[in-house]
Structure 1
Amino acid sequence: MSSLTVYADDRPGVACLHLTDPARIAAELGRIGVRFEQWDSPVVPPRDATEAEVLDAYRPYLDQLMGETGAGSADVIRVRPDTAGWAQARGKYLSEHVHSEDEVRFFVHGQGDFILHVNGHVYDVRCTARDLISVPAGTPHWFDGGEVPDFVTLRIFTNPDGWIAQYTGSDIAVRFPVEA
C-alpha cells in the first residue's frame, strides 16, 4: 500500500503525519512541488515482461507525461533479490543527493521508498504498483528498494546520459532508515 510518513528532520522515528490515501498523499506532496499520482492501465504487463512490452502497456501515459515534461527517453529497470550489483547500487541510492532534472519513476510491480528532505522535514514516500512520483530537480532525496528488492519501474529521462546524482554529503539518510 502506498503511504507517506513525514518527520521533522531533527526527530527520527517520531512521525508527525502518516497518510495512506493516494489523494491525500498527492495533495501533501504537491505542497512541496512533488508530483504523485496513480495510473489505471487496462493492461498490466506480467512481472517478467520485456522492456518493450512494459513500455507499450504504458505508452499513452508515457507519451502524455513526456510531452508535459520534455523528457526524451524512458526505460525499464527490473531489480530482484538476485540482481547482480544491487548491494553496491543500493549504497549509492541511499546517500542523499540531488539531480539537475526531475527524477520520474512509475512502479509497475513491487515497491520502493523515495525519501525527500525539504524545508526541515523528511518525507518518506512508499511507492507501490501503479504509483508515479516525480521529484523536482534540486530536491534532496534518497531511495531505498530494500535489502531484498523486487520491483519493476519505468524511468523517464530528459538527459540522454540517464541517472546522474550530485551527492550532498549529508548523513541524514543514515539517521532516517526506511521502516519495513
Structure 2
Amino acid sequence: MSSLSVYHVSSPEIPNKVLTHLEDIASTLAEQGVRFDRWQAAAKIQPGASQEEVIAAYQEQIDKLMTERGYLTVDVVSLNSDNLQKTELRTKLINEHRCAEDVVRFFVAGRGLYSLHIGDYVYAVLCEKNDLISVPAGTPHWFDMGEHPHFVAIRLSNNPEGRVANFTGDDIASRFPRLED
C-alpha cells in the first residue's frame, strides 16, 4: 500500500504523520509542489513485456503529461534482485541529491521509497504499482530500492541524455528509515 510518512528533520525515528489514502497523500505533497497520482493501464501488461509494450499500455497518460509539462523523452527502467549492480545503484541513489530537471517516475510494478527533504521536513513516499510521482527540479531527495529491489518504472525527462544527480554531501538520508524488504 502506498504511504506518506512526514518527519521533522530533528526526529527521524518518529513520523509526525503517516498517510495511506491517495487523496491525503496527493494533497499533502501538492502543498510542496510534488505531484502524486495513480494511473491505470489501458491494456494488460504481461511479465517480461518489452519497453514498447509497457509504454503503449500507458500511452494516453504519458502523452498528456509530456504535452502538459514539456517532457521530451520516455523510457522504462527495470531492476530486480538478480541485477549484479543492485548494490552499487542503491548506494548511489540512497544519498541526498538534486536534479536540474523534474524527477518523474511511474511504477508499473514493484515499489520504491522516495524521500524528499523540503525545508525542515522529510516526506518519505512509498510508491507502489500504479503510482506516479513528479518531484520538482532542484528538490533535495534520495531513492531507496531496498536490498532486494523489484520494480519497473516509466521515466519521463526533459533531458535526452538522462538525469544528472548532484549530490549535496549531507548525510541526512542515513538518519531516516530505509525501504524494508
TM-score category by the smaller chain? Answer: over 0.9
CA distance in 2, matches of 1:141, 1:27: 19
**Stretches (4+) displaced over 6 A:** none
Letter paired with 1:7: Y
CA distance in 1, matches of 2:179, 2:154: 24
Is 1:137 the counterpart of 2:137? The answer is yes
> Is the contact between residue 144 and residue 179 of structure 2 (CA under 8 Å) also seen in structure 1?
no
CA distance in 2, matches of 1:14, 1:44: 39
Q: Gaps spanning 5+ residues in structure 2: where?
A: none
Which residue does 1:74 correspond to in 2?
Answer: 74
- Equivalent residues in 2 for 1:45-84, closer than 5 Å: 45-84=45-84
Deviates more, 1:35-44 or 1:108-117: 35-44
CA distance in 1, matches of 2:47, 2:127: 16
CA distance in 1, matches of 2:91, 2:47: 25
> Is the contact between residue 3 and residue 18 of structure 1 (CA under 8 Å) also seen in structure 2?
yes
CA-to-partner distance for each residue in 1:53-89, whole Å, 9 max, x for gaps?
0011111011001111111111001101011211111
SS at 2:91's partner residue? helix
Letter paired with 1:68: E
Which residue does 2:12 correspond to in 1?
Answer: 12
Letter paired with 1:173: A
> Is the contact between residue 104 and residue 157 of structure 1 (CA under 8 Å) also seen in structure 2?
yes
Q: Gaps spanning 5+ residues in structure 1: where?
A: none
Which residue does 1:173 correspond to in 2?
Answer: 173
Shift of 1:177: 2.8
Identity score, percent: 45
Shift of 1:42: 3.3
RMSD (Å), alpha carbons: 0.9
CA distance in 2, matches of 1:20, 1:10: 23
Aligned length: 180
CA distance in 2, matches of 1:125, 1:112: 8
> Is the contact between residue 47 and residue 152 of structure 1 (CA under 8 Å) also seen in structure 2?
no
Shift of 1:178: 1.7
- Equivalent residues in 2 for 1:148-163, closer than 5 Å: 148-163=148-163
- Equivalent residues in 2 for 1:37-52, closer than 5 Å: 37-52=37-52
CA distance in 2, matches of 1:73, 1:177: 32
CA-to-partner distance for each residue in 1:86-105, whole Å, 9 max, x for gaps?
11111110010000110000
> Is the contact between residue 115 and residue 141 of structure 1 (CA under 8 Å) also seen in structure 2?
yes
